[in-house]
Amino acid sequence: MVHFKPVNRTTVSGQIVDQIKSMVRRGNLTPGDKFPSERQLSELLKAGRSSIREAMKVLETIGLIQRKRGATVLCDPAEIEHSALWLDASHQEIHEVFETRKLMEIGLRFPAERGYP
């Protein structure tokens, strides 16, 4: 069978998400930092507001930001339970993380069968 190589597609919102994740990793953004408004981000990033909204939804879904009382605040990345979803890792690395976790959980569920007290 022929193996196809995935095509890299980048959206404006995806680029915004990547830029913000990169800023977090470099320490340019720290937990508790407030984000500018959608309108301000649109002007700063030279992107449409719909792209800004979409990027913010992605960041909120993965737990990197929280919207409350009209403000968008950066959460602590160390507290994100599923941090593999926001880290820049290859598909293979993420797969390895999940496989390792699965093996550990099986060992924790059935310790007596594995020779543990």
9-67: pLDDT as tens digits: 778 888 898 899 889 888 899 899 999 999 999 999 999 999 999 999 988 888 889 99
CA distances from 20 to 30, 42, 95, 113 (A): 11, 14, 24, 45
- How do the domains of the chain map onto residue ranges? 1-79, 87-117
Q: Quote the pLDDT of residue 74.
A: 92
CATH topology of domain 1-79: Arc Repressor Mutant, subunit A (1.10.10)
51 in Cβ contact with 12 (< 8 Å): yes
Query: Can you give the pTM of this predicted structure?
Result: 0.63
